[in-house]
Amino acid sequence: MKKIYSLKNTKIKNLIKNYKGKNKNKVFLVEGIKEFEMAIKGLFYPIEIFICNKIFHEYNLIESFKSIIFYINVNIFKKISYRENSGGIIALFKEKKENVLKKIKISNNNTLILILDGIEKPGNLGSILRIANAVGINIIIICNMKTYIFNSNVIRSSLGCVFITPIFIEEKIEVILHWLKKNDVKIFTTGFNNSSNIYSTKLSYPRIAIIFGSEDKGVSDIWLEKANKIIKIPMFGNINSLNVSHAVSIITYEIIRQKYYN
C-alpha cells in the first residue's frame, strides 16, 4: 500500500498544479465518485488515483487500478480537494485523442446537433453538457473555444457527462458549415434581430443544428448569415436574456416536444 503523508510530496504538488487547468502533458483531474465512474465509462484511463481511506468506501470501483493508487490522510485530502462531498477520491487522467468532425458522416435521419460558439464559463458549459445528455443530443460541436473542456468546473457541473458525450472541437466555422451542408442539416441560431419565436417555428426537422453563443456576445456573425432561421425565446419580464444553459434547456426541449409530442 503506497501512502503519502506530506503536502510537500512531489505527487501532491503536481496534483495541485493540475487543478489550474490544461497543461502540456495533456492530463486533467477528476474528483468525485460519480465523475470517476463516468470517466471510466467514457474509456478515459487514470494515471494516478488518490484515496482518502476515512472518506472513500467504493473500493469495487478501483479494484483493477491497485498499482496506481496512493493513500492520503484526511488533512491532505481536504487541502487538495476542490470541493466538499466528493467521496474521498481524486484521480489524474490522460486526455484521449480528439474526435475529428469532418470524418463523421451522419447516418441517422433523426439527429439533433448542438453547436456552442465561444462559451466562456466552465460552469455553463458543464450544465449544457448535462442538459444535452438528458435531452439525447447526438453530437456537440464546440467552436471559438474559450475554456478547457476538462476544467474541474466543467466536469463537476456536467456530473461527468463530458466523458460520455460525442464532443467535437473545431475552431474553423467554415469547416463546420461545410460539414453541416454535406450532411443536409438545417441550421438554427439564437439571436434577437429578425428572429422568430421558438413556439411558432417549425423545429422538428430530421436533421437540425442549434447554435448558442457566448454569454455576453452571442453567436458569431457568420452563423447569423448562414442560418436557415434565427430563433428566440419569448421574454415577458424586464430582462431580455437568459443564462445560456437555461436557453439550451428551453429550446432543446421544445424541439423534443415538436418531434415526439406534438
Main-chain phi, psi angles of 38, to 5 degrees: -65, -35
Predicted structure pTM score: 0.92
CATH T-level assignment (fold) for domain 101-260: Alpha/beta knot (3.40.1280)
On average, the pLDDT of the chain sits at: 91
147 or 113, which is more confident?
A: 113
Question: Domain 3-94, what architecture?
Answer: 2-Layer Sandwich (3.30)
Identify the band that residue 25 occupies on the pLDDT scale cut at 50, 70 and 90: confident
Q: Mean per-residue pLDDT for 232-237?
A: 92
Domain ranges of the chain: 3-94, 101-260
- Residue 24's pLDDT is 62
Distances from the Cα of 188 to the Cαs of 71, 119, 120, 214, 228, in angstroms? 50, 17, 21, 16, 6
Kindly calculate the radius of gyration of the chain based on its CA atoms and give it in whole angstroms: 21
